[in-house]
Amino acid sequence: MFVDFVNISIRSGNGGKGKVAFRKEKFVAKGNPNGGDGGKGGDIIFIGDVNLNTLLDFTLHRQFFAENGQNGGLNNMTGKDGKSITIKVPLGTVVKDKTTGEILLDISEDGIPLKLLHGGKGGKGNFHFKTSTNQAPTYAQPGLPGQEIDVNLELKVLADVGLVGYPNAGKSTLLSVLSNARPKIADYPFTTLVPNLGIVKYGNYKSFVMADIPGLIEGASHGKGLGHQFLRHVERTRVLVYLISTESEDFEKDFDILQNELFVYDEKMKDKPVIKVLTKTDLLTEEVDRSFFDICISSFSYEGLEDLKLMIAEKIKVLDTPLDF
């Protein structure tokens, strides 16, 4: 089951208390102070895992509390540090403050630990507070408290290419033909309810990742249909491939509606390279004006598919080429 949004509670550990203690010596009422320091509280750490692709596990386990540090002991013994908690999430996960919406972490690399909450520092034992005028201090520091926060986890698909189009524009079929992905395909709206990823190979040992994302409809930027569920995932893609079916009654109008929904949701979408594709050309019974499109394809007859792959690869190559100043 694919889950791309969930909220959880996280808390780092409290620092342990410093100890008030004195060395026991014969005939001495109070020996030298020897209370140890408290241990540090455990941290909350996030780490991206390339093997994960859903937030499903967090629907069953929503609280992550690190251990408190242990209190200081006798003979200047420092308390044991509390165990930290490492939370593994899929690449593309954004961690946001549930209350303010502030982005706290954006996790896009595999295996890189990112500390979000620091454990409380342990308090100092009384041996730190011995002075020339106070040889037997009866004070030790309390440990500092940990941090606690409720956060939202949002999973946004990481892909080079995002397929944008109305339901039944041919996105799933195209992905299945070009890659190793096997998305569900049927002739009714919203067949694709979750993002599907496929690796598209071209040339000599080259490839890019393509995402078939739930179909967009007018009003999606305001939450209509699958709304933000779609738009959340298209944010991450580097190249946008707009698919318009030959079944459309007005190619340019449909394209403008699709593009407008993306721009209303996030103006940064305007900066992404675009490829306009006419799909399902095998269904044409009469010739139509194809001049509006960059390329025309049929996933059934394979018309234009190799050229489309090369066109996409060229867009990605330009993005990866450093600017020469």
In 108-181 the beta strands, taken as DSSP E runs, fall at 113-117, 148-155, 161-165
Is pTM beyond 0.85? Reply is no
Q: What is the pLDDT along the chain (325 residues), one digit of tens a residue?
A: 567 789 999 999 999 999 999 988 766 666 789 999 999 999 999 999 988 878 888 988 999 999 999 999 999 999 999 999 999 998 889 999 999 999 999 998 999 999 999 999 999 999 999 998 898 899 999 999 999 999 999 887 778 898 888 877 888 889 888 886 554 444 444 444 566 778 888 877 788 888 887 656 555 444 544 445 667 777 878 999 999 999 998 999 999 998 988 888 888 889 999 999 999 999 887 888 899 999 999 999 999 999 999 999 999 988 876 544 3
Radius of gyration of the chain (CA): 29
Note the pLDDT of residue 228. Answer: 52
CATH number at residue 188: 3.40.50.300
Clarify whether residues 75 and 224 are in a common domain.
no
Number of other residues whose CB lies within 10 A of the CB of residue 107: 22
- Cβ within 8 Å of residue 26, ≥6 positions away: none
Tell me the CATH number at 13.
2.70.210.12
**Residues 58, 170 within the same domain:** no
- Boundary of a domain, candidates 110, 140, 155: 155
Last residue of a domain, one of 140, 155, 170: 155
CB atoms within 10 A of CB 192: 23
Q: What is the DSSP string of 3-70?
A: --EEEEEEEPPPPPPPP--B--BTTBSS--B-PPPPPPPPPEEEEEETT----GGGGT--EEEPPPPP
304 in Cβ contact with 241 (< 8 Å): no
**15 & 112 share domain:** yes
Phi and psi angles of residue 47, each rounded to the nearest 5 degrees, phi first: -145, 135
Does 145 lie in the same domain as 172? no
Nearest of 123, 130, 141 to residue 30 by alpha carbon: 130
Distances (CA, A) of 51 to 6, 26, 101, 137: 19, 63, 27, 54
Residue 210 sits in the same domain as residue 106: no
Dist CA 281 CA 287 (whole Å) = 10
235 and 130 fall within a common domain: no
Residue 59 in domain: yes
What total number of domains does the chain contain? 2
Query: Residue 172: what pLDDT?
Result: 83
Q: Is residue 325 part of a domain?
A: no
**End residue of a domain, out of 124, 155, 186:** 155
Residue 54 lies in a domain: yes
Helix (H) or strand (E) holding 232: helix 227-234
Residues 165 and 292 in one domain: yes
- Cα torsion 250, 253, 257, 262: sign: positive
Whether residue 167 is contained in a domain is answered as yes
Residues 142 and 169 in one domain: no
Same domain, 172 and 316: yes
Residues 205 and 232 grouped into a single domain = yes
* Residue 32 CB coordination number (10 Å): 13
Residues 72 and 140 in one domain: yes
Judge residue 195's burial from the number of C-beta atoms within 10 Å of its C-beta, 0-12 exposed, 13-18 middle, 19 or more buried.
buried
How far apart (Å, rounded) are the C-alpha atoms in residues 113 and 285?
Answer: 57
* Residue written as token pair 């690869």: 313
> Token pair 């941090």 is at which residue?
147
What is the model's pLDDT at position 18?
97
In a shared domain, residues 150 and 179:
no
- Please state, in angstroms and as integers, the Cα–Cα distance from residue 86 to each residue in 12, 16, 115, following that order: 11, 21, 9
Residue range of the domain that includes 242: 161-320
